[in-house]
């Protein structure tokens, strides 16, 4: 190997390592306070904390889905859709992760919850938009 090849490998490893650290240290990806949002046909069915164990059963005309939140993970435990692809998607814990059951039009998404004090309009002195 030439010196340029070794240098290139080191740069690629450094970039990959920095990406890994950013994803695992970022507040948006911490799973301790995240919420699970379940939607059926685009409408919110329910919002549940990711850090509390719960089993949710959705029974609709198209069929049923059994969603389980356990030990900081969410997954589709069972469904009566023909392909069961939603069950095969596995356990999710990262903010932004989604499980989709297309035949039943069910989505399970993990949303990040910002920790700390919530900002109110009175806290924000800057103008975001001016409407006429």
How many domains are contained in the chain? 2
The model's pTM: 0.65
Query: For each of the chain's 132 residues, which pLDDT tens digit applies?
Result: 788 889 999 999 999 988 887 776 654 445 567 999 999 999 999 999 999 999 999 998 889 999 999 999 999 999 999 999 999 999 999 888 999 999 999 999 999 876 554 444 444 455 556 665
Residues 4 and 46 in one domain: no
Residues 42 and 88 in one domain: yes
Residues 36 and 94 in one domain: yes
Q: Residue 95: which domain range?
A: 31-111
Looking at the DSSP bridge assignments, the partners of residue 68 are: 55, 75
pLDDT at 30: 52
**Residue count of the chain:** 132
Residues 47 and 22 in one domain: no
pLDDT at 33: 77
Enumerate residues 6+ apart whose C-beta is below 8 A from 86.
65, 76, 79, 99, 100, 101, 102, 106
Residues 15 and 68 in one domain: no
Residues 37 and 96 in one domain: yes
């Amino acid at each position: 190997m030439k010196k340029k090849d070794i240098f290139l490998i080191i740069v690629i490893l450094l970039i990959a390592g920095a990406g890994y650290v950013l994803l695992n240290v970022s507040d948006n990806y911490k799973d301790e306070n995240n919420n699970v949002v379940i939607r059926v046909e685009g409408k919110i069915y329910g919002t549940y904390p990711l850090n509390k164990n719960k089993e949710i059963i959705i029974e609709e005309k198209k069929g049923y889905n059994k969603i389980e939140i356990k030990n900081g993970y969410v997954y589709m435990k069972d469904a009566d859709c023909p392909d069961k692809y939603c069950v095969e998607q596995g356990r999710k814990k990262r903010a932004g992760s989604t499980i989709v059951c297309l035949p039943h039009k069910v989505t399970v998404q993990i949303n990040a919850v910002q920790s700390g004090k919530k900002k109110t309009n009175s806290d924000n002195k800057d103008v975001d938009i001016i409407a006429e």
